[in-house]
Amino acid sequence: MELRILWIMRSPVFVRNFEAVLRELARRGHAVHVAFEGDKEGQDDRQRGLIAELARAHPQITVGTAPLPSRVRSVYGSRLRGTADYLRYLEPRYAEAPALRARARQYALWGLGGLEPLLLRRSARARRALSRVARALPRVGPAPRRLSRYLRGQRADVLLVSPLTHFGSPQPDYLRAARRLGLPSGLVLFSWDNLTNKGLMHERPDRVIVWNEQQAREAVEHHGVRPNRIDVTGAATYDHWFRWQPSRDRDQFFSGLGLDPRRPCLLYLCSSGFIARDEPAWIAEWLDALRSTPGPLREVNVIVRPHPLNADGWDRDDPLGARRGVRVFPARGEDPTDEAARQSYFDSIHHATLVVGVNTTALVESAIVGRRSYTVRTARFAATQDGTLHFHQLRERNGGPLRVADSMAEHLAQLAQGLADGPDQRQPLRRFVRRFVRPLGLDVEVAPIVADRIEALARTVTDAKRPACRVVPPPGSGGG
C-alpha cells in the first residue's frame, strides 16, 4: 500500500544522511514530502542540490517549507525549552563540558547564565524541578494552530522529524500537533552525537529509530524514551561506503595531487567549527611537530581535508604556508553529496595510510574503510574532545577506532608505529563497525530496514481520531 510520508528536517544539510532512505521509500512507491523549517540561513544552492536531484530522479519526492509557530509563541517556547536544555548541562555527567554548557546557555531564558554558580551549588533535585517546569510550560494549551492546519493539509500517514534535539527547533510542537490529530510520529536519528550534545527531545515521538544499542541507551537515559519505542536499525547514511571501490589507483591519486606515490600518507580530516575553531592554525603547529621528528614522519605525505561546513581559514590562498609534501584537498572543502564528491572523499581515505582528526564523524567513515585514526588531547580542544560524551565512544579503550595520545610526543610515536604497521586495519576495526554502524550484520544494508520501520509506524492506528488525515488500516485488518 502506498503511503504519504511527511518528513520535517531542520535544513537541507540534513538530507545527505537520509538519501538512501528517501530513495528506498520512493522506490517502494511512497510519496515523501520533505519540508524544511522556515527559511534557515545558509540554505544555499549547494546545500539544496542533493534534495533537488532526488526530486528530479524520483517524482514521489517533493520539497517544501514547514511553517514556524508565531514569533511570540516561538520565542516563548524555545526559550523555555532552551532553559531545560541548559539545566541539563549542569548535571555531573557534563561537569567537564564547558563548551556544551556555554552553547546551551545562549538558548536559555535571558539572565539565567548569571545564576550558574548558584544553580551548580543547588541540589540535583532542585535543578530537575526547575527543568520540569521549563519543559511543562510550553505544553500549556493546544499546539500552535498554524502547525495543526499544516499537518491537516498534508494528509500524511506518518510524520517524521529530524533531528528534533536542535536548540530552538519547532519540531516538538509538530509532535504535539500530530499527537492531537492521531498522526503517528517518528524520529529518525541524524548523527551519532545528537542525543548527547544537543538539546532534549521535549516531546517524545511514537517511535525513535537509532543506529545502535549505545544510542538506544542514550534515548532512554537522557530523554526518557521507553525502550519498547526504540528501533535499532544501523546507520543508513553509510550504506554506500560498504560497496564502493576506489576510482583511481595509488599512482593516479597521489600524482594528481603532486605527491610521491611511493611515500605513505597521513590524511587529516578536519572537524566542524564548534569542535575545532581556527583549525588551520592548529594543523600548522601539528605539521611543524611532524616535520621536526626524525624518521618517516619527516617525509610522509600529508593531505588535509577541510570540513565542508567549516571553511573559515581555508579561504586564504595558502593557509598552511606551502609546506613540502602537504596538500589541502579539496582546497576549500567539499560537501560529499554527489557521486563525484563522494568518490573523491572515499579515495582520500582508501589511499591514506593513517587518519588524523580532532573529533569528527569522518573517523567513523575511516573505520568502515579500514583505516585506524589518531588524535592528541590538547588544551586547545579539551572542551570539545573530553568535554563531549560522543568523543569517548570512538576511543580505542572503549572499543572504538581512535587511538588517543596525551601529548604530542606520544602522538608522534603512535603515528610512527602506525606507519610501520601499514594501512590495512580492517580486521581489528570490524567489531566496532558491526557494533556502531551495522548491528544487524556487516552485510545487511540499513536503508531497507529503516524503510520497513517507517512503513510499520505509518500503518499503526492511534487511540485518537485522525479527522483530517488518511488512516491506513493495519496489516491483517482486511483493508487496502
Which pLDDT tens digit goes with each residue over 252-306?
Answer: 999 999 999 999 999 999 999 899 988 999 999 999 999 999 889 999 999 999 9
- The better pLDDT of the pair 262, 118 is held by 262
Beta bridge partners of 209: 188, 231
In what helix (H) or strand (E) does residue 36 lie, and over which residues does it extend? strand 31-37
pLDDT at residue 317, as a whole number: 63
**pLDDT confidence bin for 121, thresholds 50/70/90:** low
Statement: residue 182 has pLDDT above 50: yes
* 425 band by pLDDT with thresholds 50, 70 and 90: low
Q: Is the pLDDT of residue 339 over 90?
A: no
Q: What's the confidence (pLDDT) of residue 463?
A: 38
Average pLDDT, the chain: 88
Confidence of residue 46 (pLDDT cuts 50, 70, 90): low
155: left (phi over 0), alpha (psi -120 to 50) or beta: left
DSSP count for the chain of H helices, then E strands = 17, 13
Question: According to the model, what pLDDT value does residue 303 have?
Answer: 96
69: pLDDT strictly greater than 70: yes
pLDDT digits over 379-403, tens only? Answer: 999 999 999 999 999 999 999 999 9
DSSP-based three-state secondary structure for 81: helix
Decide if pLDDT at 7 tops 80.
yes
Q: Which fold has domain 245-436?
A: Rossmann fold (3.40.50)
- Say which range, 90-99, 180-189, 344-353, 469-478, has the weakest mean pLDDT: 469-478
Q: How many CA atoms lie within 13 A of 49 on its CB side?
A: 11
Lowest-pLDDT choice from 54-63, 81-90, 184-193: 81-90
Q: What is the mean pLDDT of residues 35-53?
A: 75
Percent of the chain at pLDDT > 90 equals 71
Domain boundaries, the chain: 4-69+144-235+444-458, 72-139, 245-436
Backbone φ, ψ for residue 271 (5° rounding): -110, 175
Most confident of 87-96, 119-128, 187-196, 417-426: 187-196
Report the run of H or E that residue 119 belongs to, with start and end. Answer: helix 116-121
Cα four-point dihedral sign 470, 471, 472, 477? negative
Comparing 110-119, 225-234, 292-301, which segment has the lowest mean pLDDT?
110-119
Residues belonging to the chain: 480
**Cα angle: 386, vertex 388, 392; to 5 degrees:** 65
Q: By mean pLDDT, which of 63-72, 364-373, 410-419 is the weakest? A: 63-72
Equal fold, 4-69+144-235+444-458 vs 245-436? yes
Instruction: Supply the pLDDT for residue 424.
Output: 64
**pLDDT of res. 129:** 83
Q: Is the pLDDT higher at 153 or at 74?
A: 153
pLDDT value at residue 423? 67
Strands (DSSP E) contained in 146-237 are 158-162, 185-188, 207-210, 230-232
Is the predicted pLDDT of residue 479 greater than 50, yes or no?
no
Which of 318-322, 359-363, 458-462 is predicted most confidently? 359-363
Which three cell numbers mark 344?
Answer: 573523491
What CATH number labels 4-69+144-235+444-458? 3.40.50.2000
For residue 76, what pLDDT is reported? 82
Q: Quickly state the pLDDT bin for 110 (edges 50, 70, 90).
A: confident
pLDDT of residue 465 exceeding 60, the answer is no
81 conformational bin, left if phi > 0, alpha if psi -120 to 50, beta if neither: alpha
Which pLDDT does position 222 carry in this prediction?
95
The three three-digit cell numbers of residue 223, written as one number: 530523554
Task: Specify the pairing of strand 207-210 against strand 61-66.
Answer: unpaired
Q: What is the pTM of this model?
A: 0.89
